[in-house]
Structure 1
Amino acid sequence: MGPANERTWTSWSRGDEMARRFNPPPNWPRPPKGFAPGPGWRPEPSWPPPPEGWRLWVGQPNWFVRHKLITAIAAIVLLLAAVFGGEDSPSSTQQRDDAASPPPQTTAPPPPITAAPTTTAPPTTAPHTPRPTPTRSPTATGRPSSVASVASVVDGDTLRLVDGRTVRLIGVDSPERGECGFGPASTLTKRLTLGKRVTLGTGARDDRDRYGRILRYVQVGSTDVGLALLRAGLATARYDSRDGYGSHPRELTYVRVDAATPQRACPVPKPTPRPTESGNCDPSYPGVCIPPAPPDLDCPDIAYRDFRVVGPDPHGFDGNDDNVGCET
């Protein structure tokens, strides 16, 4: 609240019974400077009550303050008399000279030198600047690597472990069954991993793909199986930040090797055999008309893609057992 008008404080007086300081509460008008309420003063009825426990006067009685003041003045007078009183005499002059002279310097023996404990500074290494990594989405990190045994190989980028889990290699895509390069890619993965203990490393954005397969790097000793497929021209770098699957730590290396390695040439596909006039279509492939075996047909031999597969699948078009043949 601001200061009150002068009329409000006209009933105030400078009381001398107590050397107290008037302590108005914060919700009252601010009094004029230098005024203190007298013993009979009462606040205006319109003012709000002070906060609970608020003390309006703080300080000490006047006699206590006078005693302190007289004692301080006496001490000052005695000090001035001691400094300036009387004539200079040889003894007093000598005493002042002695007082003005600095005391003789005494040289203390130096403290014993204690050898500081020797600490070996850490070796200085050049600052490491990480290579830029595409960051379309965060990668799944924090899961430790594990070791497992490989029971079988589905194709170049997919294998099954002894414990029943299926592993899909991170960041590479090899040909499916019936596609050009399926056999060589599967053979290379079998040669590197089948029946061996492999290290499974994390790094993909997701822990599993939409088919429930765990996404891992597969390492056999110092050999990265996915990188070996890329260097052999049996796989392409895919399923990374460039096509919406999130970046992974080895993406730049995979993309660089894939761009520098030509893919293996595929033979010219044979013409698709026409179904007989009697409608000789294998019932394993409803919705399309594919003749039954023999002869055995591969995906390059037919014009159909992503068709439904039921039953025994005599031509082996459904390589990953998801009931879809010759997936694109």
Structure 2
Amino acid sequence: MTVAGILLVLIGLGVIVWSIVFALRRYERWSTTTTRRFWTGLSGGLLALLVGFVATVLSIVPAPENTAGSGNGTTAPSTPAVASSTPATSASTPPTGPTPPSVVPGGVTRAEVAGIIDGDTVELLGRTGAGPLPDEKRVEVRLLEIDAPEVGQREQCYGDEATARLRELLPVGGTVWIQRDERLRDRYDRYLLYLWNADGVFVNPELVRDGFAKAVLHRPNDKHWNTISGAQPGARGAGSGLWGACERFGQPGDTSTTERRPSPEPNPRPRPEPRPEPEPRPDPETRHQTEQRDSGGYRFPPPPPDRDCSQVSAHDFRVRPGDPHRFDSDGDGIGCES
């Protein structure tokens, strides 16, 4: 095989050289026939060179030995015995279980939904070695950074709807992916966690986004606060969920309605009695004509306003001492003499 490969390589090189020499000799008398012969020879030489090279390489590389079928009568090596122990070791490794969806962040662990208490509280069953929940123990979990309306004796508006929505997101018996924050438990010994369902939905902000809960910050747990709080303005502005069904968050449940009830119109205030319009002030000229003399016999009060004889209709009247209006031009005590 090696000899045949080397022979093909030599033939291919010879054909390539012949094609090049042929093309050079016919350069000045180039024609279609020359082109066809040149490319035919060149391609044939390259093909022979390639096939010969591959055949040579394959003949040089040694084939792998089949130790199991050697049959040379020697004692069987210990390698099969070692290999036979490998499956037993791998079989003892426990299965890893399902992996979280790609949208779920790293650092989560798996648990099982055991029950729904209300719109922001669930019961979970921890898996063996999955932490932070105790192994195979049913515990109460409060969803971090949200607050949903209450149910039961302290029922609040939209509490039943919030509980039903959480039951849809976390069906009992289903898988849930959990993540803790700085503080793991609250004062009621409930676990404080962020939850993603089996489809990868981040349940905490989903309840806020649809108007089933409001965002509430509980420090020092603030890992996903921007995401959760950012879901509230849109729901509140659009009147989604409880924002459209309740007059306020935490409203008692016995006054809840499916739609926001319009506020009663206030009683109309009694209109005040119209004030009588003041009588129009008389025209200055009319006032001068109808003005009565005072007890001293003086017709016009002192300024302001200041007047002169062209602005009054009266003549030959007594002026006040000092003649403040300067009606008496000759100083005889009589003003605006005719």
Question: Where on the TM-score scale, by shorter chain, does this alignment land: which range?
Answer: 0.3 to 0.5
Asked which structure has the greater RCO (Cα within 8 Å, sep 6+), the reply is 1
What is the TM-score with the length of structure 2 in the denominator? Answer: 0.35
What is the TM-score with the length of structure 1 in the denominator? Answer: 0.36
